[in-house]
Structure 1
């Protein structure tokens, strides 16, 4: 209770300061208030503007100034991503408070944690409590949610339950990635960037924008490709954890004078590196694991292995392939806008894992998945001249996953072959509305009702579990929000709200030894109470956003790993999370921008019994007590161009990866990144960049394979390189 009082007191104290300076801010700030009511013609069009510190987002399915939205959001523009060299979804967490990413495979499989809401489930059939959306299309597959970020217009990280407009499986929040659409400008445009770095790293990305009919029809083609040698030194063979990925996107946009717009996107991504090199630890006498040897000793020399060294006999591959197409149609109907988003995604995934982490043929797992996803969102948004506006819609989603996982044990002398088909179907109806009942005072709220159906078919494990009958679940649950927003001036706003998040039931995809382990985890629910202040002060030189929240979390789903062949999907009873967030952007002089973020969490299980042990009071998985981020950008004219310097850093506290709060944990980390570049007015540019300057080696994921063996993954080491680019 004391920590909750401290958080509330901090918010109240800083809020008093913000309100005390309201008169000065209003007198000096430009009048650029957004009425928040204009429905976006297309939620994936160019809506971002940084002039005067404004960023326009579509977190509420309409174009609004970020500072007017009563949601805790960190937004990244395409320019921001380029300055920070953020090229994958796993890197977004560098600059967002209370947001982190863990990885048990490679960057194609990020597991997001927002405000301590996460999942430890590494099975391919699971659904994350953080929803990932590309151009408003939900991506259910964990293997497709970490695709390379290229030609991106902006990214919005929405913290807190987003169950009204984004739907189920957004208990923790949502990551919304918006790619660039054709501009239909008068001239052909584009860019090309090339990078080369240590360890034979090479990266290229670019785009070509071609207007076919000015202001009517245009196309855009964008691509990215990256390669490198392995980042984990294999002392007995080929190095592991290589980089090998490429992606291509074609976009076409049409619009007419009748307020009709159609945007088609067709994409293809291919990631095919070697398998990762896990760092396996033994906790038996002398550091011995269940293989009978110490996996951290070089078998050739008898000397200890380095932090990113191992001896591996499995030289396999990771294969993450995705193909997608989505069509966004919008039609203006006077004060209304009708939007339709249709999508299909197909993917395949393979991950060959050297689980024992030695050059012994003790345990290898091949995870494989073929998936298909279909979705349709149809909504109607208003842009009335009065105090009332709404968004209402119908939603359909279906995904099919065919899972085949093979376990090769004791020199392939014993094999477990697991296979099944999982089908999930969702139907939803939703409505969200705002009502300004007094000058600057707005009541907002929404409700979504979701009907979920799951089927687990043809489940078997040869030779331990015979072919099973179909297992089902049927959920029908509401989610929603209600809140009050108060605008004191054009640049100072406060809000308070209640929201409810919902995550549908899930099947245990890790059953291996007994049909009794093929269980269904109940739905999870999160009740959120949040208050916040968003402000821009001193002629918008200072942006200060604060939020405090309390979560009542029930039936959190997570994996209970007893051994590698005994894995259960369970519900956690109850948990509570209290937290505070602060984000600051300071622009003290022309060309200089300083930002910082702070996230504080007290996240604990209040009711949890696991394997007969009462774990109530333990810290929740992947919920660090603190996250701190900072960044600095400085740009100055030199000759016929501009020189730019960027630096950013992240500090994250200790985290646990298991509810037992045992050795499956990651210590506190600090990561630092920098970039120096020169861009000429002629369009060419050159730069130097470096990532993980501190050579942070804190593990990105950990799981106990058995009582004396632990599987962990490592972050990329220090990386640096040269870049050249050209824009036209």
Structure 2
């Protein structure tokens, strides 16, 4: 969905259809003006994108390469309704589709948007940061997924589908060099190993010699890249009707994490502000320069992450049916440091060590779709474990009061999910098709966690006598448990007591007893969808649907002071109504899709706040009882003449909180009814224009430009201007020359062509508020070569 400010009057579009969803034509030579058909598996069967009565955006592998999409985070620039940022600077991506997202920085929280790689779920967002390479396509499904997908989600799903092996030999290599001494290579080799076994092995490697951020207070740089990924896929045709596929993959990421930009000082304990002042102006970032930043000298933000996994898929062709089994294992390990405050001051620096293991098994039986009735039935099971330790350093913050320097939050979470699902497509008349799907899910979660003393200061604070409470007690102590260095220091307030010494008569009030929080819960849910498709002719599909989905509740993995903060938050549910159409026009040269939708959102999960009597404002995961989202989404794809390809799209969203009372970002109790949901732009556009022409009989050139725009929004459900994120427009361009048969290509490209300064989030870390700035202009060249 494009947007450039030249398409707007003020803040509104000149024409709603002038938004572009970036995409590129696959073939080098466009001999006619018929658009290429896109095949997707959004409903677990191969279908033409324009025959599916749901909202889906899809990108081919060729389009991904041309647009520079190498991981899930790049998708937001090119997909209508998809918004992506990171929750603070913790390395946890936040996926939001059509205003439905969950901005939580804890590794143990599930996403509102399901992420699947070759039909295997990555259950936690932090697992999705690996590079995606040698891809066949990406599919972005919009709306609640409450029927066919492994884990229910309220926002949608993103499917990454890798290129699969074939019997014909071919190989390819891509070499790229760009600004900041950045080198990227990607390659594959494919072919038959035996008469019945085919294999495909691929890799990706990215390294940059320089960081893209410059320190304000030193000559250091930050943001260097160091990523490696490998994948092998092997197909075995065991018999005429039985095939097996092994997928093994691994990646490593030893890059540096970028630092945020400090922009405001709001002390959490105002009385201590004189003792912990903000950094000097000379150590504050230039908020007009994305490269300007700072970080603690002895705490370089960096990562040492590793992901690995394997899956076995079995397809058994029966009489008019296919039985499919997908068995998968995924593991993710990380050691990661982040400077949350964006200054050389130790107001909040964090080190995270995380381990995630996930096992899953899916069985499904699918009809061959040869008659008027097509169906899928199946079962899904998964189990996963998250273990994390994250130490927060804040010796120069008011909230730590100068008494302790850090606290180590450690927890372990286990989740087990079992589900039964089914879906039926019934062509009950020549022009009408009914789709009905349902899913029953049962989920269990177990959690235990605590914040641990590191240097003795926290234990000292909880053992400290705060003096008398007039008319009630002679002494006041936080914990009835005597604590020492290294102990668990989180209070169970239900064990508060007034103790009177029988000998001295001195009364002591203990706020509670310190101990490890240990809890579990079980959720059962029935979700589903009913859709009606009207096909008046071969070129039109009009669809209407109503469906619901849910996202599991969970536990707060953040630093806490009491068990109250660790109590589980409830599951959220979303009821969606949608009406849309897909039209093939102008003799197949134009595809025009549009839909309108209304979401009734219950118990939306957000990061809220609790006013702790000792530490002041702390985060707590809470539910927003009622909210809603209304929207209209449009995509227009057009090939008006041979060689010229355009694709436009736009989305308009109106989100509103109907019911929610809580604390704002400065600790005041308020009613948030009437405010927008977080991370939700009112307008979003992006798009692309590409033109190809022949230079000679053997050479082709192509020029393309793409643009994406996001309107302003708030990073939280709060109208505080400190949470405000300004609108921005990003332009990219590409000029390529290559062989007419597609064997090689040399391309010169630029991203963020106008060097637009923009930031994607604004939030607080202890006393400091920060912005997460996007990268400025980058440029380079890419050479692709294929051997077949």
Does 2:624 align with 1:643? no
Written as runs of structure 1 = structure 2, the 5 A alignment for 1:359-374 is 359-374=344-359
Aligned to 1:507: 555
Summarize the Cα distance change of 1:719–1:661 in structure 2 as closer, same or farther, 3 Å threshold: same
Aligned to 2:180: 199
- Select the residue among 107, 122, 128 that pairs with 1:139: 122
Q: Does the 8 Å CA contact 2:227/2:255 hold for their aligned counterparts?
A: yes
CA distance in 1, matches of 2:519, 2:782: 53
CA distance in 1, matches of 2:736, 2:163: 23
**Structure 1, gaps ≥5 residues long:** 1-13, 16-49
- Select the residue among 691, 694, 715 that pairs with 2:751: 691
Aligned to 1:622: 679
- Select the residue among 444, 457, 464 that pairs with 2:448: 457
Aligned to 2:649: 597
Shift of 1:458: 4.5
Alignment partner of 1:573: what SS? strand
Q: Which has the larger radius of gyration?
A: 2
- Select the residue among 689, 698, 709 that pairs with 1:632: 689
Written as runs of structure 1 = structure 2, the 5 A alignment for 1:290-301 is 292-295=276-279, 297-299=281-283
Higher relative contact order at CA 8 Å, sep ≥6: structure 1 or structure 2? 2
Alignment partner of 1:325: what SS? strand
What whole-Å deviation, never above 9, does each CA across 1:81-140 have from its counterpart, x for those lacking one?
Answer: 112122221111222111111124679642111000011111111111000000011101
User: How many residue pairs were aligned?
Assistant: 674
CA distance in 1, matches of 2:229, 2:52: 33
Shift of 1:617: 0.4
Shift of 1:295: 4.6
Summarize the Cα distance change of 1:456–1:61 in structure 2 as closer, same or farther, 3 Å threshold: same
Q: TM-score, normalised by structure 1?
A: 0.89
Aligned to 2:213: 232
Q: Does the 8 Å CA contact 1:273/1:317 hold for their aligned counterparts?
A: yes
Written as runs of structure 1 = structure 2, the 5 A alignment for 1:163-562 is 163-185=146-168, 188-214=169-195, 216-228=196-208, 229-235=210-216, 236-256=218-238, 258-283=240-265, 292-295=276-279, 297-299=281-283, 306-313=289-296, 314-410=299-395, 413-462=404-453, 463=459, 464-465=489-490, 466-561=514-609
Q: Does the 8 Å CA contact 1:168/1:501 hold for their aligned counterparts?
A: no
Of 324-333 and 362-371, more deviation after overlay is shown by 362-371
CA distance in 2, matches of 1:276, 1:109: 13
Of 664-673 and 308-317, more deviation after overlay is shown by 308-317
Aligned to 1:57: 40
Q: Does the 8 Å CA contact 1:368/1:405 hold for their aligned counterparts?
A: yes
Written as runs of structure 1 = structure 2, the 5 A alignment for 1:559-570 is 559-561=607-609, 566-570=618-622
CA distance in 1, matches of 2:46, 2:737: 33
Alignment partner of 2:281: what SS? coil
CA distance in 2, matches of 1:199, 1:655: 31
Q: Does the 8 Å CA contact 1:298/1:305 hold for their aligned counterparts?
A: no
Shift of 1:256: 4.8
Of 460-469 and 485-494, more deviation after overlay is shown by 460-469
**Structure 2, gaps ≥5 residues long:** 1-15, 18-32, 397-401, 454-458, 460-488, 491-513, 664-668
CA distance in 2, matches of 1:51, 1:461: 64
- Select the residue among 651, 667, 684 that pairs with 2:726: 667
CA distance in 1, matches of 2:151, 2:307: 23
What whole-Å deviation, never above 9, does each CA across 1:580-621 have from its counterpart, x for those lacking one?
Answer: 000000001112110011000001100111123100000001
Alignment partner of 1:470: what SS? strand
Alignment partner of 1:145: what SS? helix
Written as runs of structure 1 = structure 2, the 5 A alignment for 1:13-24 is none
Written as runs of structure 1 = structure 2, the 5 A alignment for 1:2-151 is 52-104=35-87, 109-151=92-134
CA distance in 1, matches of 2:656, 2:283: 42
CA distance in 1, matches of 2:279, 2:187: 43
